[in-house]
Amino acid sequence: MTGESDTSPASETRAFEADVSRLLHMMVHSVYSKKDVFLRELISNAADACEKLRYRAVTDVDLLGGDAALKVLVETDKVAGRLTISDNGVGMTRDELVENLGTIARSGTRAFLEAAAGSGDGSGLIGQFGVGFYSAFMVASEVVVVSRAVGAEEAWTWRSDGSGSFTVEPAGDDAPARGTRVTMILNDDSKEFAEAATVERTIRHYSAHVPVPVFVRPDPGGDEKEVVDGTALWVKPKSEISSEEYKEFYHFVSGNWDAPAFTIHYRAEGRQEYTVLLFVPETQPFDLFDPDRRGRVRLYVRRVFITDDADVLPSWLRFVRGVIDSQDLPLNLSREMLQTNPLLAAIRKAVTNRVLSELEKAAGNDAEAYTKFWATFGAVLKEGLYEDPERRDALFKLSRFHTTTDPEGWRSLSDYVGAMKENQTAIYYAIGENPSALAEAPHLEGFRARGIEVLLLTDPVDSFWVQAAVGFDGKPFQSVTQGKADLDAIPLADADGSKDDDAAARAGDVATLSALFKQALGNRVSDVRTSDRLATSPACLVASEAGPDRQFERLMARQRGGAGGRMPPVLELNPRKALVKALSEQASRGGEAARLEEAAFMLLASAEILDGEAPSDPAAFNKRLLAMMELAFNAAPADRGGAPAADGGADG
Ligand code: ADP
Ligand code: MG
């Protein structure tokens, strides 16, 4: 061991890990409004320790010895200005004290520091990030933890004033026989927590639903009083639970301060018996988009807490919080059995179905609340569209989209299908990162002109599920930037009928121009053709039928670090546009080839820009642009005859 400093060989002073140290500094100097949350955090740790022991005692009842009544005791001492929280749970070894309370920063520590820096009042964040123990330093000038791990001979004392380091040494004779005692020497601003009445009120407020009984002893020598009975809320019948109690319990299981948006509470009976109490939060948990995508539903077996790490729900429901308590699972579920136990697999499936059906019900009953939910968690739910093909149809029913019909609002796929035009065979979508740029994309013009609705997809997951999904209601999904648009069969919304029936003739007109462009642009494009996709823009780029969607390709290229081959796009021309008509006439007449080539490069560049990209050769593009402007304003140098050269060489 390093850093041994005191007389006793087992006594040592250690520095806090750097992030923990920053966190402590924040706690010590905090001006947080809700300092009383420290009590909730310490009681929750004490109750966790009791639940862990209860679980271990299932297979080894001797662990409990003569002290089987697991409980938390909170003692106040007004004269000394102290508050003590003890539990007879698992306790901590010397190493555990050092690691858990000082040297190992958990992922929540850094996340908390970041979140708290951005918010004025971090006290609401403490429970969410798993940094609960350190919140004791909001109210204490010194914290002393004495702990004896279950079955251990030795007990250890940890102490710190929260400024940079802590000390561990062998505990004295008054150490608990088992478990942990946390004593806080309260600072001058926090003496109220040495008053039993304040403490009792705070416990009733924050900790009414911890699953272990909590007692308060007012001042040394006073009588213990049970403040929380430790019964599980979920076993009570629904009719006996107030919405306030549900909310408090939600706070307990989520560590969050918001209200549950939806509460799902039921008992399954039949082949298996289990109770489910789940909440959909109102706001996003901080770790919603963490790479490990773990859920945190707590699994109990006959009221014994087993784990909150069992992935009882699929990861696309990881925002759901709460409890599942089974009557039938074995208590000694091993890690492996969590993966393979058929009873648990059946619970998983049934509960997932139930959550989806409850959400569907909510969508029908309260559209406003549902769309709010969707705006918060839709991007996560959509992961299920490609991860869980079996549930795809159910998830499609729940999915909502911004569309060209209602760019601000949320439309369902049934809304979409109900509004499809005659002869429309596909569900069209556009993918992009920025909703407003997406709505302006030239690819959408022809759809808009025909009154065809297009889904506007801006979540990163959208690129993935559209590839996996076969279709909805028998209609395939079709990207507006991929393949032929085939919009011929659908008339323009404001057409008098005659304007649009000569598509084939127009395409013929442009054939010469297309061929010429294709030759000029070489392998920059895979094809040049006319399109019904466009209404007001002269040109746009699309992916060929065979290749991946352009947005998806871009996303993958970025993941590869920018480099990498992309399929050359198809350049589509709008035959209705005067510019394209004029170029076409010139091409058919065998007009000046060099100028038509210039036009090909300029149209390609303009389509690239509208796609949110830089022209493939910015320098050449710039020269051509300036040359064209000089021409337009009669400023071309006389010796060049006004025609920009093919190499773009028009200098000023
Ligand atoms: P969290 O409870 O989210 O893990 P905390 O900062 O509240 O974070 O606690 C850190 C760790 O310290 C706990 O995970 C636990 O291992 C340990 N710990 C804290 N209090 C106790 C206790 N009373 N008994 C046993 N272990 C405890
Ligand atoms: Mg904790």
Mind giving me the DSSP string for 328-355?
Answer: SS-TT--HHHHHH-HHHHHHHHHHHHHH
Beta strands in 19-155 (DSSP E): 72-77, 82-87, 140-148
The alpha helices in 239-341, defined as continuous H runs, are 243-254, 335-340
Rounded Cα gap, residues 569 and 466, in angstroms: 20
In the chain, which residues have pLDDT < 70? 1-9, 31, 119-120, 127, 130, 485, 494-508, 561-565, 636-652
- pLDDT recorded at residue 286: 83
Strands 140-148 and 156-160: antiparallel
Distance 42 CA to ligand 1 centre (A): 8
Ligand nearest to the CA of 50: 1
Instruction: Decide whether any atom of ligand 1 lies within 6 Å of the 30 Cβ.
Output: no
**What pLDDT score does 9 carry?**
58
Ligand nearest 131 Cα, by number?
1
Q: What is the pTM of this model?
A: 0.78
Distance 132 CA to ligand 1 centre (A): 8
**Left (φ > 0), alpha (ψ -120 to 50) or beta: where does 130 sit?**
left
pLDDT for the residue 505: 54
Q: How far is the CA of 131 from the centre of ligand 2 (A)?
A: 6
Task: Look at residue 439 in the predicted model and tell me its pLDDT.
Answer: 82
Q: 84 to each of 78, 133, 166, 560, how far by Cα in Å?
A: 11, 14, 19, 55
Decide: 13 in ligand 1 pocket, CB within 6 A: no
Q: What is residue 289's predicted lDDT score, i.e. its pLDDT?
A: 87
pLDDT at 497: 44
Nearest alpha carbon, ligand 1 atom 14: 100
Residue bearing tokens 């004033």: 161
Token pair belonging to 351: 């509960």
CA of 68 to the centre of ligand 2 (A): 23
**Residues around ligand 2, an ion, CB closer than 5 A:** 45, 132
Closest ligand 1 atom to 135 CA = 6
- Atom 9 of ligand 1 has which residue's CA nearest to it? 133
Q: Is 72 in the pocket of ligand 1 (CB under 6 A)?
A: no
CB 226 within 8 A of CB 218: no
Cβ of 103 closer than 6 Å to ligand 1, yes or no, is no
Binding site membership of 92 for ligand 1 (Cβ less than 6 Å): yes
Q: How open is the CA angle 548-549-553, to the nearest 5 degrees?
A: 75
Residue with tokens 């992030």: 19
Rounded Cα distance, 186 and 201, in Å: 18
Q: In what order do the strands lie in the sheet with 179-186?
A: 12-15, 165-170, 156-160, 140-148, 179-186, 82-87, 72-77, 214-218, 225-228
pLDDT of 29: 83
Count the alpha carbons within 13 Å of 52 in the hemisphere toward its beta carbon: 15
- For residue 101, the ligand 1 atom closest to its alpha carbon is 12
The pLDDT score that the predictor gives to residue 456 is 95
Ligand nearest to C-alpha 128: 1
Question: Residue 244 to residues 40, 210, 251, 260, 334: CA-CA distances in angstroms?
Answer: 17, 15, 11, 11, 36
- pLDDT number for residue 646: 47
